[in-house]
């Protein structure tokens, strides 16, 4: 079966005016029809990509004690290591190890916070055994931010908007979240590396190793998104579906566990509007607006316009152990 996932070259964005228009049209069609695409010629070398995958493998090779010291359960900001079956997707446990970072910022004093989501702001945890990891991952995150911001502007243009149509939602810096992920081989019947879901932000960029596992739902069938050397897999998030009133498509996707004896590594970068933003619904030109039927919404997990509230809701649902430790009523009132 032929893959429905289109391949886009970002180089066209910087060539002639005609090729730029072609790229924006291709991007808009991919985001509308499939919600997924491969992105090539994005300016991040294969050498840099391999280095991140090598770092991912080095982290997961650390012993249990080293990973325990940076376990997410120690962080009210939802940063750090989580073991197999620690994260839930659609209420079921995922078979994957992960290491999560976001922006490296000082934590706010709880006495000064007005909104619960402000507690997402804070420092990352870093393993002492990998001293270069902090600088390399934060630099990687900056580079992917640059790529995703250019894509966001191009997507606004594809919607008949000025490139800066969503600039106010990211002018303080977008919300950023990076995962390093290890999928161990499994003979379990469910094979759930990650359950079916949509991403909540603007854009996601995924770096895969040579092993397949990512799948996208298209026309009521699941299709493999096989690795393509040098390319990122990009998918549209729910905030873009919301901003386009449902014209753009956030698509269900999942990861199936590799077969026994095979380990799959990947890194996912998520970019959303800043935490204090409320995402507007853009006024599309009539020829597009007639196809915008409103964003889809899961009644069990509704999408909220306020970004911080939406992110916090998702983190608490995905990591109930961290939520119970830091955000239960007992934890919030201290010794009361």
| Mean pLDDT along residues 145-156 | 98
Nearest-5° Cα angle at 208, 178 to 34: 90
335, pLDDT greater than 60: no
Nearest to 124 by CA among 103, 151, 155: 103
Nearest to 231 by CA among 49, 57, 56, 51: 49
User: What's residue 116's pLDDT?
Assistant: 94
User: What's residue 118's pLDDT?
Assistant: 96
| Mean pLDDT along residues 313-322 | 94
User: What's residue 65's pLDDT?
Assistant: 97
Q: What is the pTM of this model?
A: 0.94
Beta pairing class for 203-208 and 192-197: unpaired
135 burial via Cβ count (<10 Å: 0-12, 13-18, 19+): exposed
User: What's residue 299's pLDDT?
Assistant: 66
User: What's residue 328's pLDDT?
Assistant: 83
Residue % of the chain over a pLDDT of 90: 86
pLDDT tens-digit readout, 25-48: 999 999 999 999 999 999 999 999
CATH code of 7-332, in short, is: 2.60.120.330
pLDDT tens-digit readout, 243-274: 999 999 999 999 999 999 999 999 999 999 99
Q: List the domain boundaries for the chain.
A: 7-332
């Amino acid at each position: 079966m032929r893959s429905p996932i289109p391949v886009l070259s970002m180089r066209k964005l910087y060539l002639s005016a005609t090729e730029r228009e072609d790229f924006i049209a291709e991007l808009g069609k991919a985001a509308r029809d499939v919600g997924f695409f491969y992105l090539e010629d994005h300016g991040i070398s294969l050498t840099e990509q391999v280095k991140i995958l090598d770092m991912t493998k080095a982290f997961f090779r650390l012993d249990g004690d080293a990973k325990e010291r940076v376990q997410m359960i120690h962080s009210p900001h939802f940063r750090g290591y989580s073991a197999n079956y620690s994260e839930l997707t659609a209420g079921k446990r995922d078979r994957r190890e992960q290491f999560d970072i976001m922006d490296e910022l000082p934590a706010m004093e709880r006495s000064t916070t007005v909104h619960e989501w402000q507690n997402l702001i804070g420092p990352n945890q870093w393993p002492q055994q990998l001293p270069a990891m902090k600088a390399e991952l934060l630099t990687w995150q900056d580079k992917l931010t640059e790529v995703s911001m250019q894509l966001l502007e191009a997507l606004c243009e594809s919607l008949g908007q000025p490139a800066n149509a969503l600039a106010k939602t990211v002018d303080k810096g977008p919300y950023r979240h990076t995962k390093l992920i290890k999928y161990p081989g499994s003979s379990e019947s469910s094979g759930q590396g990650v359950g079916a879901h949509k991403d909540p932000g603007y854009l996601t960029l995924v770096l895969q190793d040579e092993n397949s596992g990512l799948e996208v739902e298209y026309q009521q069938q699941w299709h493999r998104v096989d690795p393509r050397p040098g390319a990122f897999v990009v998918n549209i998030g729910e905030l873009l579906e919301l901003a386009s009133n449902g014209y753009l498509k956030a698509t269900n996707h999942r990861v199936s566990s590799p077969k026994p004896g095979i380990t799959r590594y990947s890194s996912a970068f998520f970019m959303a509007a800043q935490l204090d933003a409320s995402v507007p619904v853009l006024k599309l030109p009539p020829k597009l607006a007639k196809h915008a039927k409103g964003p889809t919404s899961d009644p069990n997990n509704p999408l909220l316009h306020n970004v911080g509230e939406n992110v916090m809701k998702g983190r608490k649902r995905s990591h109930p152990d961290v939520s119970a430790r830091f955000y239960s009523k007992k934890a919030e009132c201290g010794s009361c």
